[in-house]
Amino acid sequence: MRKPVMAGNWKMNCNNDEAKELADGVVARGGQVEDALVILCPPATALTTVNDSIKNSNVKLGAQNMFWEQSGAYTGELSADMLLSCGCEYVIIGHSERRGRFGSVDEEDAEALAAIFGDTDETVNRKVVAALAAGLKPIICCGELLSERQAGSTDDVVASQVKAALEGVSEADAANVIIAYEPVWAIGTGEVCDADEANRVCGMVRGVVAEVFNEDVADSMQILYGGSVKPNNVEGLMEQEHIDGGLVGGASLDAESFGTLIAVAADSAK
């Protein structure tokens, strides 16, 4: 059975004092849970602070992004080794916001935003390969824009992103990969994909993993749903066959709410 996962993506929130308070609150509510994998992904400035808070718990540390080179003249970027030195075990790669794809802004701004943030299928793959080579476990994000869903191209878009991200990844390394399906139109908008449809797409993603590797790899890989996951909808999501947990944004910024999500995830394993 795949272990349920609740990963909190704090995005650009929390200074160090706030990060410590939030991490301490999560540890108090779910730090000793054994039936679910709990991951906190604070901003880079708070990685060591959060690591200090979670060091005596079962909570794991993750980063929100990384660069694929080991070192060099890459101002503002962070290498895998830097993240490891902060205590990270996981790293989110290819989040739609890193690709310049936002659900809460006009899509005509997409070209300008993509130029600012810049992640593409190619750079996502480079980051995935570099993370695995360094010993980090990537949480690979995929998802479609509202216009792509309305055009009926959800499956094509998501499948293409997954295949590109996994290019050159070995079957052995695939055991350390988590995939998160996040429909862009449901991120930060308050909208949530219907649980049945989220499960269908996650099942499709599992099928793509089986094509790239095999059924055993696909059956064992944890696939998450992300996009306005909250205490009032998490039970329905966790009841689905192919949804193994959540990559959570807003609700992860409240220790009580995130504690509820952790408890539901852990209960789903029983």
Active site residues: 95, 182
CA dist 262 and 270 (Å) reads: 13
Which phi and psi (to 5°) does residue 224 adopt? -105, 160
User: Which residues make beta-bridge pairs with 224?
Assistant: 180
Contact 257, 251 (CB under 8 A): yes
Query: Taking the CA of residue 208 as centre, how many other CA atoms within 13 Å lie in the half-sphere pointing to its CB?
Result: 23
Contact 244, 223 (CB under 8 A): yes
Please identify which residue in the block is written with the tokens 């739609």: 96
E runs forming strands in the chain? 5-9, 37-41, 60-63, 90-93, 137-142, 178-181, 222-225, 245-248
CA dist 176 and 60 (Å) reads: 14
Measured over the CA atoms of residue 150, residue 156, residue 159 and residue 163, the dihedral's sign is negative
Query: How deeply is 166 buried, as exposed, middle or buried, from its count of CB atoms within 10 A (0-12, 13-18, 19+)?
Result: buried
Through-space distance between the first and last CA atoms of the chain, rounded to whole angstroms: 10
Query: How deeply is 152 buried, as exposed, middle or buried, from its count of CB atoms within 10 A (0-12, 13-18, 19+)?
Result: exposed
